[in-house]
A and B are shown apart, each in its own frame.
Chain A
Amino acid sequence: MSEAGTVTTRRDPAAVDPPEKVDLHAPGKHDPDETGHFGPYGGRFMPEALVDALDELRDSYDKARVDPDFVDEFKRLLRDYAGRPSLLTEAPRFAQHCGGAQVWLKREDLNHTGSHKINNVLGQALLTKRMGKTRVIAETGAGQHGVATATACALLDLDCVIYMGEVDTQRQALNVARMRLLGAEVVPVKTGSRTLKDAINEALRDWVTNVDTTHYLLGTAAGPHPFPTMVRNFHKVIGAEARAQMLEKAGRLPDVVTACVGGGSNAIGIFHGFIDDPEVRLVGIEPGGHGLDSGEHGATLTEGIPGMLHGAFSYLLQDEDGQTIEAYSISAGLDYPGVGPEHSWLKDTGRAEYTAVTDDEAMHAFQLLSRTEGIIPAIESAHALAGAIKLGKELGEDGVILVNLSGRGDKDMDTAAKYFGYAS
């Protein structure tokens, strides 16, 4: 059993480690056990044919994470290419709608390609080169991860194939064009629910066939070991920066850190900046869709039952027979029936809490942030903002909330125009 759940270490809350000095990649007590389990969650529920590739990936990553050349090159790309550190912005006019609590936004929307996804793809693309592979495949839902992957592949001269559910290619046509412009091949997936989970199935089928030349650049902190740990570590920079910025600008740590959870990569990245600060609540906001009672939602941790999907044991939306239930959300980036295994463990240990907001609550927050702060968030991130509105009312005027603004909303204008009736 790993120590992943022991989160009692208390740091000096005023300690400001400059993020560039903190080693975010070294093995530590929040890593899973040797076989990739966070408590009972995670592991490798994968075809034998892929085990060798997973072993190779694990070994390569284990070497890279402690190799200063790799870590420095990753940091250099984050700084000189992705534009890190991302800003921390106070949102006082938005905060008036949050019970008067202070609201701070971690501006992952300002990264190159417009979301947090760039952190992970740069890390994995560098690792792909290191492994001597020449081809990258990836799945995408909203298109954020697909665009980020196509971008990294253009930068590092890797062949790139993106699997995207046919439904999503229609919802996110602009991102399809963007990926193609960047030189990626976009394959619309027509099986199953034709959304993110089926895009992952298709990518796995490609991987098992082409594993010699190909790296599967998984876009979230889910899947078989070592993906959940590796993807998390590439995103830990979000939380490390945010913690230092909060201490510098707000003069204190937040009471609550909140982030949206689909697969859970942006949330795990920001949560880890505060995981050893037990006084800071970590709250993940899941897509409640048309409401939890409607059955049309993607609230995996709130409503799911643990099971295996896409290589890991974790909370899962499934029926009595163990068939996956299709998730629904207005956000194409959150309608995933699984979730990263570390979130399942954080839920069970009580270190993090998870709750859901509906499409309507998210869209209200989407419009509100646009009109009060002049920032158009991704609909995914608008879920975290809707969570902040609720949490702020709970905390009152003395409260301080940090929201991970994981992406920008340009890609969502078609959905928003339809929702608000702006198009006519």
Chain B
Amino acid sequence: MTGLESVFARARTEGRAALIGYLPAGYPTLEGSQELLAAMIDGGCDIVEVGVPYSDPVMDGPTVQAASDKALRAGFRLRQLFEVVERISSHGGQAVVMTYWNPVHRYGVDAFARDLAAAGGQGIITPDLIPDEAATWMKASDEHGLHRIFLVAPSSTDQRLEMTAKASSGFIYATAVMGVTGTRDKVGAGAAELVRRTREHTSLPIGVGLGVRNGEQAAEVAGFADAVIVGSAFIQAAEADGTDGVRRLAAELAEGVRSPR
């Protein structure tokens, strides 16, 4: 069983959803990001999603964009991603990487997969790589034992849900609303429906992201999904209160995923 699979198995046994927290590597600095990610795990995140800062993050709202810019301005280099992942692994955490595809392509898809696996990383979430274009990644992920976490959206047709589910492993990332990342007052009503439609095509766990910011919303999403994914709210917590803020938010969300509604 891979690290991710055992996380989901344990959560299922405990009758709860898993908690996945996102922060960009190198934000606000390389050292700082390692502390924030450690705080996230200490606070109760089951899986951390390490973002690769990128110059053109079209799926991200202003909060993640600003954090990515900060990391790049602080001098983040792609190879440092693997140090960050390694630190999480040695901290006992489970890391997946979230990255736009061009940095991986430029690094070399196979080399990236090899180095990520060596650092203990579990897989990659690919916001702008759809299975239709992923032949090289399918091969490299098989070779290096990494999970392929593709996205599904409320606009995905049943045919695409089926195709995407077949290409995925580890879990499936369901985007709750049509839009970019960022905290929202309400998680889209379409999220539960999307999870239901996706389940018809897969037995993989389904995580829901985009918009969740507090324990109450986490509890709501935990009522119909296998994982709750939180990003922008962690950046806002880090901006406001650093590691304390991140640990506190993780604890609140961890409680939320344990009280599914």
Chain A residues packing against B (C-beta within 8 Å): 35, 43-53, 55, 191-192, 197-198, 201, 204-205, 208-212, 305, 307-311, 316, 318, 320-324
Contacts and interface: CB of A to CB of B under 8 A. Distances in A.
A201 B77 contact: no
B199 to A, nearest CB: 17
B155 A211 contact: yes
B105, B106, B160, most chain A CB atoms within 10 A: B106
Contact of A205 (B61, B150, B156): B61
Given A44-B132, A44-B133, A322 B59 contact: no
A47 B56 contact: no
A40 B42 CA distance: 45
Contact of B55 (A52, A192, A210, A308): A192
Contacts of B160: 48, 51-52
A308 B128 contact: yes
B130 A46 contact: yes
Given A44-B132, A47-B127, A309-B102, A324 B55 contact: yes
Contacts of B69: 192
A105 B171 CA distance: 58
A47 B61 CA distance: 14
Binding site secondary structure of chain A: mixed
Interface string B177-192: 0111000000000000
Given A49-B175, A52-B155, A192-B55, A205 B180 contact: yes
A198 B180 CA distance: 15
19 contacts: A45-B133, A46-B128, A47-B151, A48-B156, A49-B151, A205-B61, A205-B180, A208-B178, A307-B105, A308-B100, A308-B101, A308-B105, A309-B102, A310-B58, A316-B102, A321-B78, A322-B78, A322-B103, A322-B104
Interface string B91-103: 0000000001111
B106 A322 contact: yes
B55, B72, B105, B156, most chain A CB atoms within 10 A: B55
B116 interface: no
A323 B127 contact: no
A197, A208, A322, most chain B CB atoms within 10 A: A322
Binding site secondary structure of chain B: loop
Nearest to A306: B105
Nearest to B54: A323
Contacts of B107: 321-322
B101 A45 contact: yes
A48 B103 contact: no
Contacts of B78: 320-322
B105 A322 contact: yes
Contacts of B152: 48
B2 interface: no
B164 interface: yes
A124 B77 CA distance: 40
B59 A208 contact: yes
A316 B100 CA distance: 15
A51 to B, nearest CB: 6
B11 to A, nearest CB: 25
Given A308-B105, A321-B103, A48 B130 contact: yes
Given A48-B160, A211-B155, A324-B56, 6 more contacts: A35-B132, A49-B175, A192-B69, A205-B179, A308-B102, A316-B102
A315 B44 CA distance: 43
A44 B101 CA distance: 12
Interface string B104-138: 11110000000000000000000111101100000
B106 A321 contact: yes
Contacts of B153: 47-49, 52
Contacts of A43: 132-133
Contacts of A49: 151, 153-156, 175, 178
B55 A320 contact: no
Given A192-B56, A208-B179, A209-B180, A320 B106 contact: yes
B150 A52 contact: no
B56, B61, B180, most chain A CB atoms within 10 A: B56
Contacts of B157: 52, 55
A324 B132 CA distance: 24
Contact of A309 (B56, B72, B127): B56
A132 B105 CA distance: 37
Closest A-B pairs by Cβ, 6 of them: A322-B106, A49-B153, A322-B103, A321-B78, A52-B155, A209-B179
